[in-house]
A = this chain, B = another copy of it.
């Protein structure tokens, strides 16, 4: 590079979207300025360029910034002083002499504040700038960007050094940005904006209105297109964008400058686009023979599909956002505030749309959560009860909304001292975490033809089966429509809360002996039988994995005094008896307490009732000519003996029921692998199991020693300190937890080479984790209904990735 060149440089990394952009002019000093004046014939332009350079270099390289948040930018202060002195108000009124003065004043101020003599030697400027770019990799903005986009810090950055061109040398100059296709819809049309006699920043700064590059982009008839005013440059640009798209075989986001009639390309990169655009572009590019089907599949970010699968607020609507929380479950919901789950149910019965607002939710709230349009909580993270259940239901949820103060007593929520009462309308944007005052109109998702086509291509190549986690016939049908090939996790505890059932459940818990428990369980049997009948029917011809009761019994009892009194009245006992039972079931660490198979071992009659319900409905459907594949799954086992104990109960009752009903059903018995010890001793466990299903939520909790309910507090600091780069509850920790998964698969298949293996933790819907599941040889992943398409695409991508 010659010393005489004026240059710009920027930083970026070709991989992924991890581009960090930082542009600096440079190579300017009193000597080169003279050259520019001669070349451009424009003294003001040259001195203004120099002024801008000194200002930006001082800021970015020499780090001259305001000393406090209150202080103004020192450069702007100097500019204002000069303008005042000369009695002018606009920057554009500054004449070359003013600008020259500003350069001198800036340099003096820099010297005064930072101690640096402003470098006039271009090489020194260049190295200073290069260092600044490298240094910018670790500035706070970059850290935040990386965190949001899950970019590892060790990727580092690159530095580009380019010769400088100017779009602001006169009216034969221009600069613009364009997309080779419409980034909102994906439509195949060239789409861009430009400004005459301007620099790139003027286009984006909004001080002048950019003009459309062509007719297709034009919205205002008074605008002049680039095509019209500089037809030759436009024609050249058209040729180049087509070449670029053909070369990169992707929609491009380009920047260009026209300097004195000559077109210069500054940058091209793959353009950001909406999910709908991404799908349309990929499918159309296959039809245009620009891409192969496999490449089209690889071109879509599975995570982005989420946008397409939930209703969204009309982007044109006005929104008064009163606060934001975590985007816990995507979707858009509008409804009237209620504060209690049973109110939500009551209001729903009379046809009201509600938003259930809670400090946090518990399994008791399940009925209300199920009927509410949306859920809003003050506490809890992305993996809180509210968030997990809402995602499972496909219900919109904003969680952990710190500014929200909820008073159950007054039935109010207060945000920044504004009080909202029960019955007030609010709206939630679960994809953005926004809480909005009043009603906002929504638009329904359209799973367009392009989407269906892309999915069918994905299904052709993927090896993993995709199942869903669903507990109701409705959820099962939704998931089946989304392409689910079975149920990987049907939780039975949710079924215990609905309607009158909870009464029988509580009777069972309060019973003094087995006889009392059996009496209560007999009442539950018909309900459970109907539950399974509906689910098996909805999933006909596909396997359904049913997990026996998992949560600790105290979750089914009320913890508030008033509710305990109500319950006592219902059951005809004293409130003290209820309280005594609640106390005796209290656990210090319920997550590691009396739950999962430990319940079934203590109370085999519970397992018996559940197996009977499963098998009776399976037998009935078989008689009705419906093919069913029940898979009975025992949770939380850590030893072979636990599984053997429960397997004996399952097989005994299953055989009994088939004999009674005189029909055979294909059923399997298997287990969750969610305790580290189960993974470590999977060879022993496999002797009693026909399938494994990794419960990676609990496995992650125990492998990390993190309680999902409590870890939110310190995990935030962990991300900030870079101790963790990803949330291990969202993306499977392949380094640690993944080892246990691998060990279990290896040991399990050593004993039973055909062991069916899947995953039913939240990770089953996370693209990265789906990739891992493919690589370690699982048969299927299971995720919430609304993530089934995402998992299908991720599985296809990993299959293609493996082929390479």
- Nearest CB in chain B: distance from A386 CB, A: 14
CA distance A721 to B644 in the complex (A): 11
Task: Type the 1/0 row for A572-587, where 1 means its CB is closer than 8 Å to any CB of B.
Answer: 0000000000000001
A592-B705 CB under 8 A given contacts A639-B724, A641-B724, A676-B740: yes
- Nearest CB in chain B: distance from A597 CB, A: 10
A598-B714 CB under 8 A given contacts A593-B707, A680-B736, A724-B641: yes
Interchain Cβ contacts under 8 Å between A and B, 10 examples: A587-B710, A592-B701, A593-B710, A594-B713, A641-B723, A675-B703, A675-B705, A676-B702, A680-B740, A702-B703
Q: Are B707 and A588 in contact (CB under 8 A)?
A: yes
A735 within 8 A of B: yes
Q: Are B710 and A645 in contact (CB under 8 A)?
A: no
Q: Are B677 and A723 in contact (CB under 8 A)?
A: no
A591 within 8 A of B: yes
CA distance A681 to B718 in the complex (A): 18
CA distance A724 to B594 in the complex (A): 16
Specify which chain B residues have a CB less than 8 angstroms from the CB of A590 in the assembled complex. Answer: 588-589, 707, 710
CA distance A590 to B587 in the complex (A): 11
CA distance A316 to B705 in the complex (A): 51
Supplied contacts A589-B709, A591-B592, A684-B735, 9 more A-B pairs, CB within 8 Å: A587-B710, A590-B710, A592-B701, A638-B703, A639-B736, A641-B721, A676-B740, A681-B735, A698-B705
Task: Type the 1/0 row for A703-731, where 1 means its CB is closer than 8 Å to any CB of B.
Answer: 11111011101100110011110000000
Closest 7 pairs between A and B when the two form their complex, measured CB to CB: A592-B707, A589-B707, A677-B736, A593-B710, A588-B709, A641-B723, A675-B705
Specify which chain B residues have a CB less than 8 angstroms from the CB of A589 in the assembled complex. Answer: 589-592, 707, 709-710
Q: Are B707 and A601 in contact (CB under 8 A)?
A: no
A636 within 8 A of B: yes
Q: Are A680 and B739 in contact (CB under 8 A)?
A: yes
- Nearest CB in chain B: distance from A649 CB, A: 12
A602 within 8 A of B: yes
Q: Are A707 and B587 in contact (CB under 8 A)?
A: yes
Specify which chain B residues have a CB less than 8 angstroms from the CB of A592 in the assembled complex. Answer: 589, 591-592, 701-702, 705-707, 710-711
Specify which chain B residues have a CB less than 8 angstroms from the CB of A365 in the assembled complex. Answer: none
CA distance A737 to B591 in the complex (A): 19
A642 within 8 A of B: yes
Q: Are B703 and A680 in contact (CB under 8 A)?
A: yes
Specify which chain B residues have a CB less than 8 angstroms from the CB of A705 in the assembled complex. Answer: 592, 636, 638, 674-677, 698, 702
- Nearest CB in chain B: distance from A694 CB, A: 14
Specify which chain B residues have a CB less than 8 angstroms from the CB of A675 in the assembled complex. Answer: 703-705
- Nearest CB in chain B: distance from A146 CB, A: 15
Task: Type the 1/0 row for A609-653, where 1 means its CB is closer than 8 Å to any CB of B.
Answer: 000000000000000000000000000101101100100000000
A674 — nearest CB in chain B belongs to which residue? B705
Q: Are A723 and B601 in contact (CB under 8 A)?
A: yes
- Nearest CB in chain B: distance from A528 CB, A: 24
- Nearest CB in chain B: distance from A598 CB, A: 5
CA distance A718 to B638 in the complex (A): 12
B642, B721, B740: which contacts A645 (Cβ < 8 A)?
A: B721
Q: Are B639 and A723 in contact (CB under 8 A)?
A: yes
Q: Are B677 and A722 in contact (CB under 8 A)?
A: no
Specify which chain B residues have a CB less than 8 angstroms from the CB of A602 in the assembled complex. Answer: 714, 717
CB contacts under 8 Å to B, within A525-584, are: none
A736-B681 CB under 8 A given contacts A639-B723, A717-B601, A717-B602: yes
Specify which chain B residues have a CB less than 8 angstroms from the CB of A739 in the assembled complex. Answer: 680-681
Q: Are B723 and A642 in contact (CB under 8 A)?
A: yes
CB contacts under 8 Å to B, within A144-180, are: none
- Nearest CB in chain B: distance from A75 CB, A: 35
Task: Type the 1/0 row for A691-703, where 1 means its CB is closer than 8 Å to any CB of B.
Answer: 0000000100111
CA distance A636 to B711 in the complex (A): 14
Specify which chain B residues have a CB less than 8 angstroms from the CB of A677 in the assembled complex. Answer: 703-705, 733, 736-737
A705 — nearest CB in chain B belongs to which residue? B675
A601-B645 CB under 8 A given contacts A594-B710, A677-B703, A707-B593: no
Task: Type the 1/0 row for A172-193, where 1 means its CB is closer than 8 Å to any CB of B.
Answer: 0000000000000000000000
A739 — nearest CB in chain B belongs to which residue? B680
- Nearest CB in chain B: distance from A266 CB, A: 39
Specify which chain B residues have a CB less than 8 angstroms from the CB of A736 in the assembled complex. Answer: 638-639, 676-677, 680-681
A584 — nearest CB in chain B belongs to which residue? B713
CA distance A733 to B684 in the complex (A): 15
- Nearest CB in chain B: distance from A734 CB, A: 11
CA distance A411 to B724 in the complex (A): 50
Interface-centre pick from A598, A642, A681 (highest chain B CB count, 10 A): A598
Specify which chain B residues have a CB less than 8 angstroms from the CB of A704 in the assembled complex. Answer: 638, 675, 677
A587-B676 CB under 8 A given contacts A714-B598, A714-B602: no
CA distance A645 to B718 in the complex (A): 10
Task: Type the 1/0 row for A208-251, where 1 means its CB is closer than 8 Å to any CB of B.
Answer: 00000000000000000000000000000000000000000000
- Nearest CB in chain B: distance from A726 CB, A: 12
Task: Type the 1/0 row for A326-363, where 1 means its CB is closer than 8 Å to any CB of B.
Answer: 00000000000000000000000000000000000000
B721, B737, B740: which contacts A601 (Cβ < 8 A)?
A: B721
